[in-house]
């Protein structure tokens, strides 16, 4: 129950940050940072797939309501939540029965950065494919996906270092 309440608090804080601050940012009119996907990034490897996708769907649906993007965020974040353990498996060996809490402490800064960028790329690609307009060219589409991924990575990594990077200091 304590873990659920902690996740719920993170979820609410990230959605508030997204809706009231980051949705107003648009780099070159193309990319907006999506920081609320951070919760999906840090879910432990032992979280059941249904629970992981439920978190993604509820967060995405809540974001859809505030961003006026009917179903785009919910579908993209649910897909990202489904693929999260597979993407995590590219950066760390996942063994049955062993809990991995992905982050800067467990993965190291380099692998954690690549993991965050990979997951944000999958999310941005899914959002882009779901909301692509007929007039957009292929180059503009990929510019938007790449810029959005990189722009999302920066605040998420800062949050990771602020919230969970301190654990490394205390272990020494």
pLDDT in tens, 130-166: 887 656 678 878 888 898 899 889 888 888 888 876 5
Report the C-alpha gap between 106 and 112 in whole angstroms.
8
Backbone angles phi, psi at 27, to 5 degrees: -80, 115
The per-residue pLDDT for 170 is 41
Location of structure tokens 């969970």: 164
Cα Dmax for the chain: 55
pLDDT tens by residue, 58-81? 999 999 998 888 889 999 999 999
Eight-state DSSP code of residue 27? B
The per-residue pLDDT for 161 is 87
Could you tell me the pTM of the whole model? 0.85
Taking CA atoms, 36 is separated from 22, 68, 162, 171, in Å, by: 10, 16, 15, 28
The per-residue pLDDT for 95 is 72
pLDDT tens by residue, 27-54? 666 678 889 899 898 888 778 889 999 9
Among the ranges 7-11, 123-127, 131-135, which has the highest mean pLDDT value?
123-127
State the sign of the Cα–Cα–Cα–Cα dihedral 54, 60, 62, 65: negative
Report the C-alpha gap between 159 and 66 in whole angstroms.
22
The per-residue pLDDT for 121 is 95
Report the C-alpha gap between 34 and 41 in whole angstroms.
12
Tokens of 127: 């959002």
Eight-state DSSP code of residue 25? -
The per-residue pLDDT for 134 is 56
């Amino acid at each position: 129950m304590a873990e659920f309440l902690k996740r719920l608090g993170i979820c609410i804080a990230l959605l508030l940050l997204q809706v009231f601050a980051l949705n107003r940012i648009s780099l070159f009119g193309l990319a907006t940072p999506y920081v609320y996907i951070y919760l999906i990034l840090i879910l432990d490897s032992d979280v059941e797939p249904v629970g992981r996708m439920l978190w993604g769907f509820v967060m995405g649906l809540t974001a859809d309501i505030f961003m006026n993007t009917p179903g785009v965020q919910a579908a993209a974040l649910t897909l990202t939540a489904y693929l999260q353990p597979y993407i995590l498996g590219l950066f760390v060996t996942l063994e049955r029965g062993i809990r991995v809490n992905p982050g800067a402490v467990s993965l190291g800064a380099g692998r954690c950065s690549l993991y965050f960028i990979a997951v944000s790329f999958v999310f941005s690609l899914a959002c882009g494919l779901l909301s692509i307009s007929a007039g957009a060219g292929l180059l503009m589409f990929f510019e938007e996906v790449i810029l959005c991924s990189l722009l999302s990575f920066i605040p998420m990594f800062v949050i990771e270092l602020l919230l969970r990077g301190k654990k490394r200091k205390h272990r020494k």
